[in-house]
Chains A and B, each alone.
Chain A
């Protein structure tokens, strides 16, 4: 697998929509298709040959995808054909009314918000939008939102709170947009405000990382009662490329960085940073978007119905407690409330400014 991850960086520029570890799968699929075509045109029954091939295909997909390295998973999460927020809206939502604009500056296409209904459950949907066509992608800045995107999300979430609608967020961003306008309009403040307000909104919030969970840009719509992640999605403090460039001084070390960052769905569940990993169809969501949408819909409906039975005060208390101890390791830190400052206070007079440290 180490060889594979090395190759994967080299073949980044390839135009093929499948990743190099998917190529044996694609080849076998082509073979099966050819045989099927032959069977149809000639009227011959080729099941004797087809069935073993199909069984081999399933096993091959399973083999390839259970052995994926973290960096391969990052690349699956970014797969060209991976379903996006807009796909889920189409495939999973029964009724949809998009709401636009932050009322302050603009309507950031990189975040979509709207009223949604699914099997009778009404909620507010907030999601990153990456764009399908090249033109779309550019308009959406490839899913990198500006402050107006985060403020649009917050204004609609407040609307949801006022009318008692639960909130579902679909996270899929490489990160918040790094640009002059974004900084001028307070990118950091917009994200911080969302994180803080989402911790105390008085309606159920369900978050799902559906592809890329890129740092603060993801967390800006990522605080909730249930945080889910799809099997091949990732969630990280920094992109593997960025981390490699800073710590390894080489962008080529992204596969190593991806491994070290522990950013896969399984890692995050082990670290208790996500509540649930939602399985993807065999070979990843991009191989069966409709199947993925069905799985996600079922998971969301179950959680919506579970959360709406919890009284609001208790819901908020549980959310608070979850975030209060997030990332804490019981062996190092006592759970909140049990530690008293008196137990562990070390008094010291102010240290004199060291003569040596001038700047």
Chain B
């Protein structure tokens, strides 16, 4: 037993290992068990960060997903060079993730309901928002408006992308501008905040939804905890800026466990629908006679 334990412990750092260690409780978890639970620790319920494609798989019925604008790729408008040129960072991230940008958008069915889904992928430069991410969020909003579909946006992001400077900052305005029109038209938008959602994303399109959900234990806040700690020179209260803290302070509607997320979003859509979605359904019903 001890030998076996050690053998797996050594293997835990290997990418193809069968076991992994929970960040939160330290338990060794059989990966297949965790994957069955959508990367939630069976011991302590810790929600590991999902990649964008994993999130799509979690929420969209198999075989119904149509991704859009996957070819749009991050561009280096400012010729930004810090320790490394931004173009090198982009290239490396594209090679690592096999994707062109941090935002994935498209349409598909959620439990048989047609929706537009957008997912920010933390694996791509920390899910940061530059011009193309802002553009894709906006394109998703416009798709939902045009096709009269519910809009679901799932975020995990460190904020605006520094390497695109003020261009990134202005994506906050671009996305909210589009949401304003979608909202005025009666569109239904449900936002899902996952770990972590901070900075320019939480200060723009992410909280501007009809209903705001969060996964348990997610870090959600405007300023990063380290920035606040440095500014205030004092310890932060336990649980500060976690989903539970936000719920307690009236900032979100519900905390939803990952295993319930798909069903719960479906239920919310069925409850409210919104004038836009109802109009679509009426039209479809009429066409079907």
Interface residue ranges, A against B (CB under 8 Å): 176, 178-180, 182-189, 191-193, 195-197, 199-200, 215-216, 219-220, 222-223, 235-238, 242-243, 246-249, 256-257, 260-263, 267-268, 271, 273, 320, 323-329, 332-333, 336, 339, 341, 344-359
Q: Are A355 and B176 in contact (CB under 8 A)?
A: no
Residues of A within 8 A of B71 (CB): 344, 346
Pick from B35, B135, B142, B167: contact of A271, CB below 8 A. B167
Q: Are B65 and A359 in contact (CB under 8 A)?
A: no
Residues of B within 8 A of A358 (CB): 20, 31, 34, 39, 48
In whole Å, how far is A105's beta carbon from the nearest beta carbon of chain B? 12
Q: Are A356 and B166 in contact (CB under 8 A)?
A: no
Q: Are B177 and A323 in contact (CB under 8 A)?
A: yes
Tell whether A348 pairs with B67 under 8 Å between CB atoms, given A273-B167, A320-B181. Answer: yes
Pick from B53, B160, B245: contact of A351, CB below 8 A. B53
Tell whether A184 pairs with B223 under 8 Å between CB atoms, given A219-B169, A344-B71. Answer: no
Q: Are A329 and B77 in contact (CB under 8 A)?
A: yes
Tell whether A247 pairs with B222 under 8 Å between CB atoms, given A237-B165, A324-B177. Answer: no
Assembly CA distance A349 to B221 (angstroms): 34
Residues of A within 8 A of B177 (CB): 196, 199, 223, 320, 323-324
Q: Are A186 and B249 in contact (CB under 8 A)?
A: yes
Q: Are B179 and A187 in contact (CB under 8 A)?
A: no
8 residue pairs bridging A and B, Cβ less than 8 Å apart: A216-B222, A257-B82, A267-B166, A326-B174, A329-B77, A346-B70, A347-B66, A350-B65
Residues of B within 8 A of A262 (CB): 78, 165-166
Tell whether A180 pairs with B240 under 8 Å between CB atoms, given A199-B173, A261-B165, A354-B51. Answer: yes
In whole Å, how far is A74's beta carbon from the nearest beta carbon of chain B? 13
Looking at B204-212, B256-264, B268-276, B280-288, the stretch in contact with chain A turns out to be: B204-212
Whose C-beta in chain B lies nearest to the C-beta of A222? B173
In whole Å, how far is A63's beta carbon from the nearest beta carbon of chain B? 28
Per-residue CB proximity of B105-137 to A under 8 Å, as 1/0?
000000000000000000100000001101100
